C-alpha cells in the first residue's frame, strides 16, 4: 500500500524549492556585446565620476551670477560645444554653451537660451535664474567608488548603459543555467504529427522550454518519453549529465503507468513526492540525481504553468546566482461577481487593469478550470486566494505579475 504524502503549505514548498539547487561557483568574463541577460558574478564599482566635470544641463550661456542682471548685455567670449574645452570665463563676459558642454572656470551659473537675447556677438539676459542654475556638478550622477550594480544583478539594457558609461568593456558573470525538459505519456504526440482522438498534442514541452528561456536559462534538451521503463531510463541517462536542472511533466503519481519515480531511483536518485496546498498544481515532486535537481511538475499544462511560475522560477533564479530570488508580490482589488473559498491556496488566472478612475483591479478569467489553456495567454498574472478564507468582490488580494515572475 502506497503512503499518501502529507499536504505541504504553499509558502513552505516555495521556500524549499528555492533552496533545492546549488548556487553557481565558476565565473565567466564576457564582453558587453554578450552581457545582455546574464547575471553579474561580482559587484561593479564606479571608477570615474559621472559626469567627469561640471557641465551644462541646457543650451544657454555661462556667466558669473554676480555680474549679471536683467537687461544687461555681456560680450560673448567663446562658443563652446560639447566635447570641447572652454576657456576660463573673463570678467564681464559670457560663454555660449550647449547641453553637455563643460562649464568654464570662473562661471557659476548657466542661463537658458530661452531667457536670453543674442545680437552683435553679445547676449542680454532677460530673466536671471538663481545662482548655480542649470549646472550638473561633477559626480552628480555617479561618484567614483560608489557601487554601480550588486552581485546577482540581471544585466538588461539599462544596466548596460550604466556599465558602458564607466568605460568597462567586459564583466564577470555566472555561467548560463542549463535546463532540460522531459515530457512523458503515451497519449502525447508532437505538433505536426498525425493526431488520433485519444491523443493530445504536447504543449508542455514547448511551454516549459519557453518559460525557462524567458528567465535567461539555456534549454539544452527537450525530450519525450513514452510510458516504459526503458524510454524513461534512456531519457534520464541523457538529461542528467548535460543539465544543471531537469524539469519533468507528468508520471509522478501512483498509477500503474506513473514510472518517473522508479526511473529516478534506477538512476541513483531519490524522489520526495509532495502534495502542495495550492490549486492548480497540487502534485509536485523534487528529486536529485548526482547533485542535479529534478523537479517533477503535474501533467496538466495550466497546473504546470502555475507551478513553474510560483515554485520553479525562484529555484532557477537561485541557481543562476540572481538576487532577489523572490520577485515582488503586489496587491490589488479583485473585480468579480462571485466569492471564492477553498481548503487550498487558490491561484486565479487574472488580468490586471488600471481604470481611468479608481484603484487597480484584477479580473478573473471566466473559466478557471485547470484544463483551460486559453486562459494562459489572456492572463497577466495570478491572484492568490488564501486557504479557508472567503474572498469576493472588492477584496484586496496578493497578485503575482507574470512580468516580474517570469523574467
How far apart (Å, rounded) are the C-alpha atoms in residues 406 and 316? 10
**Cell numbers 528567465 label which residue?**
215
Instruction: Name the pLDDT band for 250 (thresholds 50, 70, 90).
Output: confident
pLDDT tens-digit readout, 168-208: 999 999 999 999 999 999 999 988 889 898 899 999 999 99
pLDDT tens-digit readout, 280-300: 999 999 999 999 999 999 999
The partner residues of 285 in beta bridges, in order of sequence, read 273, 296
For residues 52-57, give the mean pLDDT.
98
Q: Give the chain's count of helices (H) and strands (E).
A: 9, 27
Q: Cell for 305?
A: 504553468
pLDDT tens-digit readout, 106-139: 999 999 999 999 999 999 999 999 999 999 999 9
- Ordered by where they begin, the domains of the chain are 7-26+176-320 (3.40.980.10), 28-49+142-173 (3.90.105.10), 55-136 (2.170.190.11), 330-405 (2.40.340.10)
CB of 176 within 8 A of CB of 217? yes
Q: What is the pLDDT of residue 253?
A: 64
**pTM score above 0.95:** no
Burial of 122 (0-12, 13-18, 19+ CB in 10 A): middle
Q: What is the pLDDT of residue 1?
A: 45
pLDDT tens-digit readout, 311-348: 999 999 999 999 999 999 999 999 999 999 999 999 99
* 3-class SS of residue 330: strand
Within 8 A by CB and 6+ apart from 8, the residues are 16, 274, 275, 276, 277
**Cell numbers 493530445 label which residue?**
200
Strand order, beta sheet including 218-225: 7-8, 270-276, 283-289, 292-297, 245-249, 178-184, 218-225
Secondary structure (DSSP) of 147-173: EEE-TT-B--HHHHHHHHHTT--EEEE
Amino acid at each position: 500500500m502506497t503512503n499518501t504524502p502529507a499536504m505541504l503549505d504553499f509558502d513552505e514548498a516555495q521556500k524549499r524549492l528555492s533552496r533545492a539547487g546549488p548556487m553557481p561557483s565558476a565565473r565567466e568574463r564576457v564582453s558587453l556585446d554578450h552581457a545582455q541577460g546574464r547575471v553579474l558574478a561580482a559587484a561593479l564599482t564606479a571608477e570615474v565620476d559621472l559626469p567627469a566635470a561640471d557641465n551644462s544641463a541646457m543650451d544657454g550661456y555661462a556667466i558669473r551670477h554676480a555680474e549679471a542682471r536683467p537687461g544687461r548685455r555681456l560680450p560673448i567670449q567663446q562658443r563652446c560645444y560639447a566635447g570641447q574645452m572652454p576657456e576660463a570665463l573673463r570678467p564681464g563676459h559670457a560663454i555660449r554653451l550647449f547641453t553637455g558642454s563643460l562649464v568654464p572656470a570662473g562661471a557659476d551659473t548657466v542661463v537658458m537660451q530661452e531667457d536670453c537675447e543674442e545680437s552683435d556677438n553679445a547676449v542680454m539676459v532677460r530673466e536671471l535664474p538663481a545662482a548655480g542654475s542649470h549646472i550638473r556638478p561633477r559626480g552628480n550622477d555617479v561618484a567614483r567608488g560608489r557601487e554601480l550594480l550588486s552581485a546577482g544583478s540581471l544585466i538588461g539594457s539599462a544596466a548596460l548603459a550604466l556599465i558602458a558609461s564607466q568605460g568597462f568593456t567586459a564583466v564577470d558573470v555566472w555561467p548560463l543555467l542549463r535546463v532540460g525538459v522531459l515530457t512523458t505519456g503515451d497519449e502525447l504526440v508532437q505538433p505536426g504529427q498525425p493526431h488520433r482522438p485519444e491523443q493530445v498534442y504536447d504543449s508542455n514541452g514547448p511551454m516549459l522550454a519557453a518559460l525557462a528561456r524567458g528567465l535567461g536559462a539555456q534549454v539544452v534538451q527537450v525530450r519525450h518519453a513514452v510510458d516504459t521503463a526503458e524510454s524513461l531510463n534512456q531519457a534520464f541517462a541523457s538529461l542528467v549529465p548535460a543539465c544543471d536542472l531537469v524539469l519533468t511533466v507528468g508520471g509522478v503519481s501512483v498509477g500503474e503507468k506513473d514510472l518517473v519515480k522508479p526511473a529516478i531511483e534506477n538512476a541513483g536518485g531519490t524522489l520526495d513526492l509532495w502534495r502542495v496546498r495550492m490549486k492548480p498544481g497540487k502534485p509536485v515532486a523534487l528529486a536529485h540525481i548526482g547533485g542535479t535537481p529534478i523537479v517533477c511538475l503535474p501533467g496538466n499544462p495550466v497546473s504546470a504553468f502555475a507551478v513553474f511560475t510560483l515554485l520553479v522560477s525562484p529555484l532557477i533564479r537561485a541557481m543562476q546566482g540572481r538576487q532577489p530570488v523572490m520577485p515582488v508580490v503586489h496587491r490589488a482589488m479583485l473585480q468579480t461577481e462571485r466569492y471564492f473559498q477553498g481548503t487550498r491556496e487558490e491561484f486565479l488566472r487574472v488580468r490586471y487593469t488600471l481604470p481611468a478612475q479608481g484603484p487597480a483591479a484584477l479580473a478573473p478569467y471566466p473559466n478557471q478550470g485547470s484544463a483551460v489553456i486559453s486562459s494562459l495567454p489572456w492572463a497577466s498574472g495570478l491572484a492568490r486566494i488564501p486557504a479557508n478564507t472567503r474572498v469576493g468582490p472588492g477584496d484586496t488580494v496578493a497578485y503575482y505579475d507574470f512580468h516580474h515572475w517570469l523574467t
